[in-house]
A and B are shown apart, each in its own frame.
Chain A
């Protein structure tokens, strides 16, 4: 229970009035000499006792009446769980939200923010309570809501540093509100100390609104117009020449409010400066570097600009791996017309040393898991019957992550063909279809999934060419529901199916990749199609791994694998894979290049800051406030007045004073009855006597 007018309790002294009167009267009792008390000595004692008890009850009643009167005027009310009210009028509950996103690394903004927070802590009254929260993309409460100001200041000095993360005002305000739910005072405030960098404001996804009894006080740190240049990002492209790769780096540099001054961008790789380019700063500059002759291996480095006041975004890290040249295996049936079976296929892939893919042709009899695993992709063209171990090897290869393109042809037998892909649950071969038997013209590709990586390049240019090959025969396959049809003939039957199996894929081309069943190899789309298939199918490509600060990195391996992660600070972290072989590295809190090792495999990745934060364009704090607290209508202002003063509203809702008044009336009646009864008793006894 609490009280709206607690000062009224000073009037509680009134309750002592009956006792005081009694004492004063006792003190003023007249002492009268009297002839003799012989007629008074026989006063019956029980009468005195009864009278005393009665008097005591009367006294208590009178004290109670006065006490309840005081209580009534103090306007008591019960504290409601959702309306915690102030014990001390004028005291505040305040949450200090301190922005420590990386934009606060600009100049001395962080120390300015700390000073602002310290200033507000110093200005607080002894009864105020404060909680300290730092926030970037996630808020973190550093201290509980209390009046331990010395602790708050110590935490502020010791633990508040700028992070490398972006800003999210919304989450911070939400946490501030949560903390204030347990506030002791009615007056609640969120002190938002920030540079109000604009990208940190994302509209509320759940339409959350800050209650109006919580006010937001924005404290702007620094100037809204700040110069900043930063590396917006980079792109890598490779060009293979046999076992070596040429890498082209495309780097975007953005500048804000900078005059067109000259600056330099450097490329550092493996701790050595590889290149430097000087350029005039524009709003956006696209810079390119190229490195040739990079052999298979892991490469890490960074681009760096001349440092400005916000240094963290002047450096951008990259990691990439140059794989060995990917290998493609083409299996052909010894008994068939070997040359024609794979002639066009072989011819399509460069067989020279400088080719992008190393292409190997082997007879189907060589089909074994060991052989398959040496290659990134396998073309199984026009196969006859495969034995069980061959089928199993194929299945294991795909399951382990390999890609197989199975194409039909003159040797295709419905049963044998079905036997090969049945274990993949890709579908069922029904019959070999002679197109002429069902339509006058030969079949063409009619329905192609251009979103698929194989066909996406044709969507922009070459779509028409894709429809020019004509097919006289194909194998009608009824696809399984889990298989994806990537292309269909104009007869409606599938031309290319894809079925994922394990970690790999099975592609089924239902017609021939030679001229047995159509003129596809002599069409201009044949080559790009095969290369698209190879690019799609071959897993081992040069890859780069880049993450943003705070983004978790997935590690896949065998169950129980232990990954040693070396951070940019040369700290070592250990990760253990779970029973599924997966684990996440979540401590990507610092931008830089990371190295991971599980004893067998090495992996590298880079972590960069989210450059959205580098756009230092400030947002008007009032916009943020307006977004979480809509302006008030007149009626709402009145309602707010009631809500803000939760103590008054709670009191007026509960109206405890009414019950007290009723109680006082009852007590008063009881007092009157008792007092009059004693008088009546006295007078009747007098009459009797």
Chain B
């Protein structure tokens, strides 16, 4: 059974998001992605980073008897608790942008779908790491927050919520970020999944707030390939999905302006993120989810060290 799972995981690794989108069950999808990713790690130079055994410590009152190493007890007649790296009790908060603009996708997978897949995969991965996972949904305000927990049941709740999720209204990055930053009592990882289509200054302010509170922030800038490359042709009329504004333009000429503006925007965010020590990553929706998982994992291990 385990072998079969491994094989399936391997198969789903690097599976294109378009293919993943056909899997209706997010849990199944996320498990496939993560298992594939994890099994893949054995072959990677990063192996043993996270789920490896770390140390034993003497059992104290209050510890979960489940974690007692009974074999050692038999050998040494002492109760030891097996302590793994994930027992650093790191919490991960996923901030998922559910604004209207996230519903855009030139092909099969929308940014929103991609972000959900990624959120699900991350949640699964985090829980598998025994870390706590929480998720917050926002558009122009904070829509919903699922608190941080690390149980399987919690994961199940999160995945269910993600499955039922729909896009909301326009993006506003500043307000929900400040609200969240204030609500996070415990420092941890903050993974932002957003297309960032909002005021960059507000975004930076929000990020700064997170960082000020001592959080590690990973910013996944999710974009559609058409958004990064502006691959339209001829005359097109684009309709802003958030405002409904329409703009008739010659694609070839607008491309220049668009790319220039986007580049400037990204440079600004990237630069500010660099200054704030935030990991900024551009994710195009046609990229496999592994990339994001890897980014998260490497960032987490760096934090632990």
Q: Which of B241, B254, B259 contacts A36 (CB 8 A)?
A: B241
Identity of the chain A residue whose Cβ is nearest the Cβ of B104 in the assembled complex: A35
Interface string of B209-238 (1 = CB under 8 A from A): 000000000000000100100001011111
Identity of the chain B residue whose Cβ is nearest the Cβ of A41 in the assembled complex: B247
Q: Quick check: A37 and B224 within 8 Å, CB to CB?
A: no
Q: A residues within 8 A CB of B250?
A: 51
Identity of the chain B residue whose Cβ is nearest the Cβ of A28 in the assembled complex: B235
Q: Quick check: A34 and B261 within 8 Å, CB to CB?
A: no
CB-CB under 8 A for A29 and B237, given A35-B195, A43-B257: yes
Q: A residues within 8 A CB of B111?
A: 35
Q: Which of B87-115 contact A (CB under 8 A)?
A: 101-102, 104, 111
Interface string of A663-682 (1 = CB under 8 A from B): 00000000000000000001
Number of A-B contacts (CB under 8 A): 84
Q: Quick check: B262 and A34 within 8 Å, CB to CB?
A: no
Q: Quick check: A31 and B227 within 8 Å, CB to CB?
A: no
Instruction: Tell me the bound Cα distance from A34 to B246 in angstroms.
Output: 9
Q: B residues within 8 A CB of A51?
A: 250, 253
Q: Quick check: B101 and A30 within 8 Å, CB to CB?
A: no
Q: Quick check: B238 and A686 within 8 Å, CB to CB?
A: no
Q: A residues within 8 A CB of B254?
A: 40, 43
Q: Quick check: A31 and B239 within 8 Å, CB to CB?
A: yes
CB-CB under 8 A for A47 and B238, given A35-B111, A689-B259: no
Instruction: Tell me the bound Cα distance from A27 to B236 in angstroms.
Output: 11
Identity of the chain A residue whose Cβ is nearest the Cβ of B239 in the assembled complex: A33
Q: Quick check: B245 and A37 within 8 Å, CB to CB?
A: yes
Q: Quick check: B236 and A29 within 8 Å, CB to CB?
A: yes
Instruction: Tell me the bound Cα distance from A689 to B237 in angstroms.
Output: 23
Q: A residues within 8 A CB of B54?
A: none
Instruction: Tell me the bound Cα distance from A369 to B257 in angstroms.
Output: 126
Q: Which of A26, A31, A36, A685 contacts B101 (CB 8 A)?
A: A36
- Tell me the interface secondary structure of chain B in the complex: mixed
Instruction: Tell me the bound Cα distance from A454 to B235 in angstroms.
Output: 115
Instruction: Tell me the bound Cα distance from A29 to B235 in angstroms.
Output: 6
CB-CB under 8 A for A689 and B241, given A26-B235, A35-B227, A42-B261: no
Identity of the chain B residue whose Cβ is nearest the Cβ of A38 in the assembled complex: B197
- Asked whether A44 is an interface residue with its Cβ less than 8 Å from the other chain, the reply is yes
- Asked whether B72 is an interface residue with its Cβ less than 8 Å from the other chain, the reply is no
CB-CB under 8 A for A32 and B257, given A37-B245, A37-B247, A39-B262: no
Instruction: Tell me the bound Cα distance from A689 to B264 in angstroms.
Output: 11
Interface band, chain A? 20 to 34
A685 to chain B, nearest CB (A): 5
* Most interface-central of B240, B243, B262 (chain A CB within 10 A): B240
Instruction: Tell me the bound Cα distance from A616 to B138 in angstroms.
Output: 120
* Most interface-central of A31, A34, A41, A44 (chain B CB within 10 A): A34
- Asked whether A25 is an interface residue with its Cβ less than 8 Å from the other chain, the reply is yes
Q: Quick check: A47 and B237 within 8 Å, CB to CB?
A: no
A26 to chain B, nearest CB (A): 7
Q: B residues within 8 A CB of A42?
A: 257, 261
Q: Which of A398-453 contact B (CB under 8 A)?
A: none
Identity of the chain A residue whose Cβ is nearest the Cβ of B227 in the assembled complex: A35
Q: Quick check: B240 and A34 within 8 Å, CB to CB?
A: yes
- Asked whether B49 is an interface residue with its Cβ less than 8 Å from the other chain, the reply is no
Identity of the chain B residue whose Cβ is nearest the Cβ of A42 in the assembled complex: B261
Identity of the chain B residue whose Cβ is nearest the Cβ of A683 in the assembled complex: B252
Interface band, chain B? 35 or more
- Asked whether B258 is an interface residue with its Cβ less than 8 Å from the other chain, the reply is yes
Identity of the chain A residue whose Cβ is nearest the Cβ of B254 in the assembled complex: A40
Identity of the chain B residue whose Cβ is nearest the Cβ of A34 in the assembled complex: B238
- Asked whether B260 is an interface residue with its Cβ less than 8 Å from the other chain, the reply is yes
Instruction: Tell me the bound Cα distance from A40 to B235 in angstroms.
Output: 14
CB-CB under 8 A for A34 and B259, given A40-B247, A43-B249, A51-B250: no
B198 to chain A, nearest CB (A): 8
Identity of the chain A residue whose Cβ is nearest the Cβ of B105 in the assembled complex: A35
Q: Quick check: B259 and A47 within 8 Å, CB to CB?
A: no
Q: Quick check: B238 and A32 within 8 Å, CB to CB?
A: yes
Instruction: Tell me the bound Cα distance from A36 to B238 in angstroms.
Output: 9
Q: Which of A626-650 contact B (CB under 8 A)?
A: none
Instruction: Tell me the bound Cα distance from A66 to B249 in angstroms.
Output: 27
Identity of the chain B residue whose Cβ is nearest the Cβ of A43 in the assembled complex: B257
Q: Quick check: A33 and B241 within 8 Å, CB to CB?
A: yes
Q: A residues within 8 A CB of B252?
A: 682
Q: Quick check: A32 and B237 within 8 Å, CB to CB?
A: yes
CB-CB under 8 A for A39 and B261, given A30-B237, A31-B237, A34-B104: yes
Q: Which of A30, A35, A44 contacts B257 (CB 8 A)?
A: A44
Instruction: Tell me the bound Cα distance from A26 to B252 in angstroms.
Output: 16
Instruction: Tell me the bound Cα distance from A436 to B285 in angstroms.
Output: 158
Q: Which of A25, A33, A689 contacts B104 (CB 8 A)?
A: A33
B252 to chain A, nearest CB (A): 6
A437 to chain B, nearest CB (A): 132
Q: Quick check: A34 and B249 within 8 Å, CB to CB?
A: no
Q: Quick check: A34 and B241 within 8 Å, CB to CB?
A: yes
Q: B residues within 8 A CB of A40?
A: 238, 247, 249, 254, 257-258, 261
Instruction: Tell me the bound Cα distance from A36 to B171 in angstroms.
Output: 10
Q: Which of A23-75 contact B (CB under 8 A)?
A: 25-26, 29-44, 47, 51
Interface string of A248-262 (1 = CB under 8 A from B): 000000000000000
Q: A residues within 8 A CB of B257?
A: 39-40, 42-44
- Asked whether B169 is an interface residue with its Cβ less than 8 Å from the other chain, the reply is no
- Asked whether B19 is an interface residue with its Cβ less than 8 Å from the other chain, the reply is no
Identity of the chain A residue whose Cβ is nearest the Cβ of B257 in the assembled complex: A43
A23 to chain B, nearest CB (A): 12
Q: Quick check: B256 and A689 within 8 Å, CB to CB?
A: yes
Q: Quick check: A32 and B239 within 8 Å, CB to CB?
A: yes
Q: Quick check: B238 and A37 within 8 Å, CB to CB?
A: yes
Q: B residues within 8 A CB of A41?
A: 247
Q: Quick check: A34 and B239 within 8 Å, CB to CB?
A: yes
- Asked whether B265 is an interface residue with its Cβ less than 8 Å from the other chain, the reply is yes
Q: Quick check: B255 and A35 within 8 Å, CB to CB?
A: no
Q: A residues within 8 A CB of B239?
A: 31-34
Q: B residues within 8 A CB of A43?
A: 249, 254, 257
Instruction: Tell me the bound Cα distance from A26 to B235 in angstroms.
Output: 8
Instruction: Tell me the bound Cα distance from A51 to B253 in angstroms.
Output: 10
Task: List 14 A-B pairs, Cβ < 8 Å.
Answer: A25-B235, A26-B235, A32-B236, A33-B239, A34-B240, A36-B171, A36-B241, A37-B245, A39-B258, A40-B238, A41-B247, A43-B249, A51-B253, A689-B260
Known pairs A32-B238, A682-B256 / 4 extra A-B pairs, C-beta < 8 Å: A35-B224, A37-B238, A40-B238, A689-B260
Show the binding face of A for B, using Cβ within 8 Å: 25-26, 29-44, 47, 51, 682, 685-686, 689
Show the binding face of B for A, using Cβ within 8 Å: 101-102, 104, 111, 171, 195, 197, 224, 227, 232, 234-243, 245-250, 252-262, 265
Q: Considering the complex of A and B, which 3 residue pairs feature the smallest CB-CB distances, nearest first?
A: A39-B261, A35-B104, A36-B197
